[in-house]
Amino acid sequence: MKLLSVIVPCYNEEENIRDFYDELFRNDSFFRDKEIEVEVIYVDDGSKDRTVAEVKKLHEEDERVHLLSFSRNFGKEAAIYAGLQKSRGDMVVMMDVDLQDPPSLLPEMYNYIEQGYDSVATRRVTRKGEPPVRSFFARMFYKIMNRISKTEIVDGARDYRLMTRQVVDAILAMTEYNRFTKGIFGWVGYETKWLEYENIERKKGETKWSFWKLFVYSLEGITAFSTVPLTVAAVLGALFCVLALCLIVVIIAKTLIFGDPTSGWPSLVCIILLVSGIQLFCLGIVGQYLSKTYMEVKKRPIYLIKEDI
Ligand code: UDP
Ligand code: MG
C-alpha cells in the first residue's frame, strides 16, 4: 500500500469542508484499484467560523481525516508548509477546499507519477469569471517576474500539485519566512508535468484574496525571487551621475565662451524634484529588501499550532 497525503488549507470555509471530502472520495474505486491509502489533512488557518467543528465532525466519522489548526490566520503559504510537515505520505497533493482544484484530475496526475515524473502541476488556461483588471495585472506580474527572476514562475499555475516524497522534502528544506510557494516549486526543480484545465469558479463562499492582498503578495514574490530591482536602483543612480557630469561640462563651457550666467531656477526646481523622487524610489526598493531580511533574521516560527488531531 502507498500512502497519499492530501493537504487542504482552509480559512473560513465551513460550507466547503464536507463537499470537498465527498468529492475527494468519489475517486474511492481509483484509490482501491491502485492500492492507495489516503490521509486528508485539513489545515485550519485560524478560521473564525465553524470550520474546525466541521473537520472534527468528519474526523469522528472517518479516521483518515486529520485536523491541524493554527492559533490565528497565518496565510495560505504557512498552511501549506504546516501540512507538508505533518504529511507522512509517499506522495502528497495540495488542494483548495473550494473545489477549484478538481479531485477528478487525481487519476491522471497519478498516472504521470507512475510514469516517473517527480511532480505533476496544474495551470488554468483561462481566467474566466475573474475581473478583467485583475487578469491584466496578473498577466503583467508574470511577464515582469519571469524577466527579472531566474526561477521559472508559470502564468496561471495553481497550487494544485501532486508530488513525490523527494520533492516534498526539498520544499521542506526551504525554511524561509517569506514563503512565495509558486516560486519555491519552481526553484526546487525536478521533473514536472504540467496539466491544463479551464478555470472553475468557486462553489460556495467567497475568495479570500482582495486586489490589494494580491498586489502585496506579488511584491513579496518579486523580492523573494529576484534582486533585479536593487540593480535597477544602482543603474539609475549611475545614469544620473553621467547625465549630471555632461551637463556640468556644457554649462561651464557655455559660461566661459559666452559669459552668460546660468539662468532659470524653475528648471532647477524641476530637476531637484525629479532626482529626489528617484532617490526616494530607490531607497524604497532597498527598504523592501531590508524589511524582508529583517523578518527572516528574526527567525519567527512560520505558524503556531493550536490543535493537532
Ligand atoms: N486560504 C487559507 N488562508 C488564507 C486565505 C486562503 O488557508 O489566509 C485557503 C482557502 O481556504 C482556500 C485556498 O486557500 O482553500 C484558496 O483561497 P481562495 O479560494 O480564497 O483563493 P482563490 O482561489 O480565489 O485564489
Ligand atoms: Mg479559490
Taking residues 187-207, report their average pLDDT: 84
Q: Whose CA is nearest to atom 2 of ligand 1?
A: 76
| Average pLDDT value for residue range 108-137 | 86
Q: Which three cell numbers stand for residue 279?
A: 532617490
Confidence check: pLDDT of 68 > 90:
yes
| pLDDT tens figures, 19-47 | 999 988 887 888 888 888 999 999 999 99
Please, how many CA atoms are within 13 Å of residue 73, restricted to the half-sphere of its CB?
9
State which ligand 1 atom lies nearest to the alpha carbon of 100: 23
- Residue 41's pLDDT is 94
Q: Return the number of other C-beta atoms located less than 10 Å from residue 19's C-beta.
A: 15
Residue 162 has pLDDT above 90, yes or no: yes
pLDDT at 65 (0 to 100): 92
Rama region for 46: left / alpha / beta (φ>0; ψ in -120 to 50; rest): left
Checking if the pLDDT of 130 tops 80, the result is no
Of all protein residues, the one whose alpha carbon is nearest to atom 8 of ligand 1 is 75
Report the atom number in ligand 1 closest to the C-alpha of 96. Answer: 15
* pTM attached to this predicted model: 0.81
Cell of 228: 533585479
What is the predicted pLDDT for the residue at 206?
80
User: What is the pLDDT at residue 100?
Assistant: 86
Pocket test of ligand 1: the residue of 7, 96, 302 to mutate, having most ligand atoms within 8 Å of its CB, is: 96
Class of domain 2-210+301-308: alpha beta
Confidence class for position 260, pLDDT limits 50, 70, 90? low
Residue 304 has what pLDDT?
92
**Model pLDDT, residue 295:** 87
Quick one: cell of 291? Answer: 524589511
Is 70 exceeded by the pLDDT of residue 16? yes
Atom of ligand 1 nearest to the CA of 12: 11
**CB of 7 closer than 8 Å to CB of 84:** yes
| Predicted local distance difference test score (pLDDT) of residue 168 | 94
Ligand 1, pocket residues at CB < 6 Å: 9-11, 13, 45, 73, 75-76, 79, 96-98, 100, 202, 207-209
Most informative mutation of 50, 72, 208 for ligand 1 (most atoms within 8 A of CB):
208
305-308 and 2-10 strand pairing? unpaired
Average model confidence (pLDDT) across the chain = 87
pLDDT band at 245 (very low <50, low <70, confident <90, very high): confident
Distance 151 CA to ligand 1 centre (A): 24
> What is the C-alpha separation between 245 and 240, in angstroms, rounded?
9
Phi, psi angle pair for 166, to nearest 5°:
-60, -45
270 has a pLDDT exceeding 80: no
Residue 14: helix, strand or coil by DSSP? Answer: coil
Q: What is the pLDDT of residues 201-221, one digit of tens each?
A: 777 878 878 888 888 888 888
Least confident segment among 100-104, 126-130, 180-184, 287-291: 126-130
> CA-to-CA distance for 16 and 42, rounded, in angstroms?
11
Residue ranges near ligand 2 (ion) with Cβ within 5 Å: 96, 98, 100, 202
DSSP 203: S
For the ranges 29-38, 79-88, 242-251, 270-279, the one whose mean pLDDT is highest:
79-88
Q: What are 292's three cell numbers?
A: 524582508
